[in-house]
Amino acid sequence: MLALALVICFIVTVLITPLVKRFAIKIGATDKPNHRKVHQKVMARLGGLAIYIGFLVGFIILQPDSGYTVPILIGSFIIIVTGFLDDMIELSAKWKLFGQLAAAAVVIYGGVRVELINLPLFEDQFYLGWLSIPLTLLWIIGVTNAINLIDGLDGLAAGVSSIVLLTISGLAIMDGNIFVASFGMILLGSTLGFLVHNFNPAKIFMGDTGALFLGFMISVISLLGFKNVTAFSLLIPIIILAIPISDTLFAIVRRLVQKKPLSAPDKSHLHHCLLRLGLSHKQTVLAIYAMTAFFGLAAVMLTMSTLWISLAIIFFILIAIELLVERVGLISAEYRPMMNFFRRLANVRRPL
């Protein structure tokens, strides 16, 4: 049934996206090129509406039943309205944040929370108590905006989200979590259906309607999907989302180092850096897909590994992220402490 729902969501979204494109052009929901953007012509946005319609069709088919269902549906509707308004009239940052906070508050009130953190080294669990609410809020808002920030190239956010959803759904199926698997699969089918029209050269953008919706839904189902993982439960979704989360965190670091406002736009995100290294548009997108798949595979391995192997995987992931940041210049072209260390080490060992 899950596979059938995925296929139906895919077909529905493929068919509905051209209609959404016409609707977006008719109401003026278009994206005009400027100095910060890669595209060179006016593009219809609002494509996220097609993803949302496909998602609703899948929900009607599977009807996943849980106490979380209604809060998630209400929260997703709030986030869709927020994205729709932003694609139409370009909301200010504070109103976009207000919409995200409202959506997050609904699902938190409905019981979606980070309630504890597993501490496998000490064979114990740390219960967060009242801290669970601000931590959950930070996670939902952070992931929602992380997906939004990587939406800078044709097919990038949709493809990365698809890989993330595939990983979450697969782990949920392995864990017997049918509720999360149901949401993950219908979202995956809808996102892949949209990607048919969004991959380079894109015919339509997902806009904030799609990026905020996907980010919000991924943040919520990732929390629900790993409550029963005994080791490093909070790290699993972080690793799955390593690329968008890293891009966002280093954007914050970059702006702090450069003494710029955190909300200041720039062209130094991961995809911008890869383009500057000489990769083409498609090569950049495919490279980031590969990175996302790598971290998804690492997360799967982490759930099946012993404690010490898990620690080795985490250490390797941290080294990989740092080397990636330095190689592409995600903070700055001069920031290369680890690469310089390895270079000095190589010079020391080189025979005279």
Distance of alpha carbon 86 from alpha carbon 82, whole angstroms: 6
Please give the angle made by the CA atoms of 28, 33 and 35, to the nearest 5 degrees.
145
Read off the DSSP letter of residue 30. Answer: E
Q: Which two tokens stand for residue 263?
A: 């909300």
Whether the Cβ atoms of residue 218 and residue 120 lie closer than 8 Å to each other? no
What does the alpha-carbon distance between residue 36 and residue 25 come to, in Å, rounded to a whole number?
22
For 67, 128, 136, 220, the CA distances from 110, given in Å and listed in that order, are 7, 17, 12, 11
* DSSP 8-class letter at 128: -
Burial class of residue 38, CB neighbours in 10 A (0-12, 13-18, 19+) = middle
**Residue 110, phi then psi, degrees to nearest 5:** -80, 0
Query: Which residue, 166, 285, 202, 208, is CA-closest to 52?
Result: 208
Instruction: Give the HSE-up count for residue 198: Cα atoms under 13 Å, Cβ half-sphere.
Output: 35
Type and span of the H or E element at 222: helix 207-225
Q: Is 87 annotated as contributing to ligand binding?
A: no
3-state class (DSSP) for residue 126: strand
How far apart CA 184 and CA 161 sit, in angstroms, is 10
Q: Residue 8 in contact with residue 193, Cβ under 8 Å? A: no
Candidates 287, 304, 165, 182; CA nearest to 231 is 304
Tell me if 208 is assigned to a ligand binding site: yes
117 in helix, strand or coil?
strand
What is the token pair recorded at 92? 């200010």
3-state secondary structure of 202: coil
Q: Which residues are annotated as a binding site?
A: 148, 208
Q: Which residues are annotated as a binding site for Mg(2+)?
A: 148, 208
